[in-house]
Amino acid sequence: MEKKEFLKDEFELRPRRTPGFSRRVFAIIKFILGICFLPFVYAVSASFLSEFGLISRLLQNYFWAGVISFLAVYLFIWEPAKIYVKGQKLLEFIFRFFAPLVKVAPYLLPVYCILIAISYSILSLVIKSAALMDYSIFLFGFTLIFHLVFSAKSMRSRQEDFLKANYIFGFSFIYIINLALLALFLNLMFEKFSFVNFFNHSFQIAKDIFGAVFKQFFL
């Protein structure tokens, strides 16, 4: 009887220790992966700016005006958190039948940026105006930085994030996917912007960085 009680007590103690240890191990793995993502963050940024520089200077200015406008509103006037939450709920509703994406999609996909791309695709069929493209580029800049800022804030505020692994890994991945989606949208809008060149250039830059690190440490 005593032996059974001892085994029962020992069994009850194990789950309390194992989950915490497993979470820490998993967090360390995600932290390492997050660090490995950083060269890709730099690579997609450099490649995007290179391709983006090929389109009209005026349109580039509209994009950066959108970015600056959001930051000005966010820092000095109002934090549109409720709008961000509504966008998340919309994506949760869209992916409610596909469980693996229900929790990931609201953070991963820039819903308002996607809606603008869809709206532009439809309106451009009937409205032949340069102003439509100007406003769309401005809103791309506004909504992209809007999504990145609130996604970063949401992930950074999570408790028990050992080594900030979730933040480093998650936000790096979100940033890469968001910039790749914007590059795809711009590829559809402009002949000079090439998504293929963006992808190849990003891969080459990341490859060079990893190659340089490998030579530094192992050769």
pLDDT tens digits, one per residue of 146-161: 999 999 988 877 656 5
Stretch among 54-58, 126-130, 163-167, 200-204 having the lowest mean pLDDT = 163-167
Q: For residue 75, is pLDDT > 90? A: yes
- pLDDT in the model for residue 33: 81
pLDDT digit string, tens, across residues 158-196: 656 555 667 788 889 999 999 999 999 999 999 999 999
Looking at residue 105, its pLDDT comes to 86
Tell whether the torsion through CA atoms of 151, 157, 161 and 165 is positive or negative. Answer: positive
List CB contacts of 163: < 8 A, sequence separation 6 or more: 27, 28, 31
Tell me how many domains the chain contains.
Answer: 1
Residues 105-117 pLDDT 10s? 888 999 999 999 9
Q: Helix 165-189 to helix 130-156 angle, to the nearest 10 degrees? A: 170
Q: 144-171 burial string, b = 16+ CB within 10 Å, else e?
A: bbbbbbbbbebbeeeeebeebbbbbbbb
Residue 132 lies in domain: 2-218
Mean pLDDT of all residues in 95-120? 88
Which pLDDT score is estimated for 167? Answer: 79
The pLDDT assigned to 198 comes to 97
Q: What mean pLDDT do residues 90-116 have?
A: 87
| Cα distances (angstroms) measured from residue 140 to each of 2, 58, 128, 174, 200 | 69, 14, 19, 16, 23
Q: What's CA 103's distance to the chain center, in Å? A: 14
- C-alpha 206/C-alpha 47 separation (Å) is 10
Residue 139 has pLDDT above 70, yes or no: yes
Buried (b) or exposed (e) across 189-217, using 16+ Cβ within 10 A?
Answer: bbeebbeeebbebbeebbeeeeeeeeeee
Run of H or E residues at 21: helix 2-52
Query: What does the mean pLDDT of the chain come to?
Result: 85
Predicted confidence at residue 147, as pLDDT, reads 96
pLDDT of residue 162: 55
Selected residue with higher pLDDT from 96 and 188: 188
